[in-house]
Structure 1
């Protein structure tokens, strides 16, 4: 199983299913009230007195609301990626998590648990018996792309956190806020959001040479599967846009393929990818070498002047699946390459 790092894609056997919107900070006041957040609770965030005052909480969700009576002590992250990110970022007892088949270890490089949660394979669906055997008191499934069919079964095992708006439709800020609420750590969640926003702002300020530079970005799984992002609302596009870059007008006018926010190109039309900075993502070195050997690819102006950047899976997934853990990693591994490429323009 692979993922679509070009459009914030869901886990799939081919790259491409959906786009992920990076929305505004936090959620509405009505949602926060519904979640039962108590900003006037005494004691520091995460302390026993504060935690007790925050529960029980009810968090609304698209597939169903979740009610948690006490602070969770055995959490399972059943979603594709960001449920694990949020459990780790908020430092909760993570006893199990969905294995990420994009990485040999089953975990992304920015996921560094202090303990060793049991990783389970979701290629053929969620292993419900194994999840039940972990005895969770909370299942985080806001990044579960099959939750519409998983919800009823998961909710029978333990209280289950759904997405708010729809599969892949919640911003990373909303996901963080809701996770902080259900885990009894609302203040810590807001601190993580602020820290991540500050990291983005710092990267933009420290690298003014990126401002105004046009770019194109897309996943390449084979010479017959060449795609490019054509919509600014894509999660990956939002990552680059926040650094001051802008999506090339040459691709925003292209018709969208069956995959949202993505246009498909033939090799004969690869010239449309030319921009100040050309960014491509590859599942492995073999596919990258195959494309880079193509004569039409070599003729691209961005390639000839050294303004071409190749992302590996880790960088691509970090950009496409934004969270308070993946965004800092994405900034660290991609910004130097982007700056080097932009300097050649």
Structure 2
């Protein structure tokens, strides 16, 4: 929260925290973790979002991006369902083409481009089109709460930002109350990306890790030990070592439906306690992205896909 709190302090004397027209026209100065200082001269109306989290955050405020990039869409898996039909008038941006030219045509007054700072030459070109924000934290995935708070500051609608965050927090709290038996149980969150390889979450401070933690779940000690040994927030596990995935709850996705069937057919998978108890949420790449890159509308959607598995864990 340091970035957002620093912004709130810096802006406290500008009057832009009010909702009237004068405040909406006031400039907002933002100090970013990469050392850049940018100024958004007034509440933006033509926003380009080059990341799914920011797209959802903008939509949560009722602000439809004039253009957007969504990795899931680019992979051919379709538009994330938590957007609904709100992007039908927005222009998809393909980063594999001339990204800067595509964005320039949209005449943006704000560009949200997480992860694009490493784009050689291109990022500097984006910053010449409009105020451009890359990462807002030092974390691998920016916290969705900080993104909502920052958007509320930029739009001069901090009260709405508070309401959005509180609404999502209520949803998470409701899930925890519905399944009280989750507290203290262990979980495994894994993605199968090859015929015998999986990436497994082992960092409770990761975006998905924080969500599961709010439900009272914790990562197993064997995985946190592996993470400590490797120094990485996600550990690579081969299918020969399926036992490392043993936990009360298993949340698993595979890169393709074919790979999912292969994993489900392996003896090591069928032998896991979570599988035998029915405490498994098999997700597709879209659903698991809603947890990996959490945002206001993806969180309720993703939790809704895990109801039966959460119930099985809670009963156990």
User: Do the aligned residues in 1 keep the contact of 2:72 with 2:78 (CA within 8 Å)?
Assistant: yes
Could you tell me which runs of 5 or more consecutive residues in structure 1 were left unpaired when the two chains were aligned: 1-23
CA distance 1:48–1:257, change in 2 (3 Å): farther
Per the normalisation by structure 1, the TM-score is 0.81
The Cα of 1:222 is off from its aligned counterpart by: 2.2
Alignment counterpart, residue 326 of structure 1, candidates 271, 276, 298: 298
Q: Alignment partner of 2:7: what SS?
A: helix
Higher helix share: 2
- The equivalent of 1:138 in structure 2 is 110
Tell me, yes or no, if structure 1 residue 87 matches structure 2 residue 58: yes
User: Do the aligned residues in 1 keep the contact of 2:80 with 2:286 (CA within 8 Å)?
Assistant: yes
The Cα of 1:169 is off from its aligned counterpart by: 5.0
Distance 2:77 2:281 in 1: 26
- The equivalent of 1:242 in structure 2 is 214
Per the normalisation by structure 2, the TM-score is 0.88
Tell me, yes or no, if structure 1 residue 100 matches structure 2 residue 94: no
Tell me, yes or no, if structure 1 residue 117 matches structure 2 residue 104: no
Distance 1:280 1:269 in 2: 15
Alignment counterpart, residue 134 of structure 2, candidates 155, 162, 174: 162
- The equivalent of 2:165 in structure 1 is 193
CA distance 1:196–1:48, change in 2 (3 Å): same
Q: Alignment partner of 2:198: what SS?
A: strand
Q: CA RMSD in A?
A: 2.6
User: Do the aligned residues in 2 keep the contact of 1:76 with 1:136 (CA within 8 Å)?
Assistant: yes
Aligned residue pairs, count: 310
User: Do the aligned residues in 2 keep the contact of 1:60 with 1:66 (CA within 8 Å)?
Assistant: yes
Alignment counterpart, residue 186 of structure 2, candidates 214, 217, 221: 214
Deviates more, 1:103-112 or 1:153-162: 103-112
CA distance 1:136–1:279, change in 2 (3 Å): same
The Cα of 1:341 is off from its aligned counterpart by: 2.9
Alignment counterpart, residue 268 of structure 2, candidates 280, 284, 296: 296
Q: Alignment partner of 1:94: what SS?
A: coil
- The equivalent of 1:10 in structure 2 is none
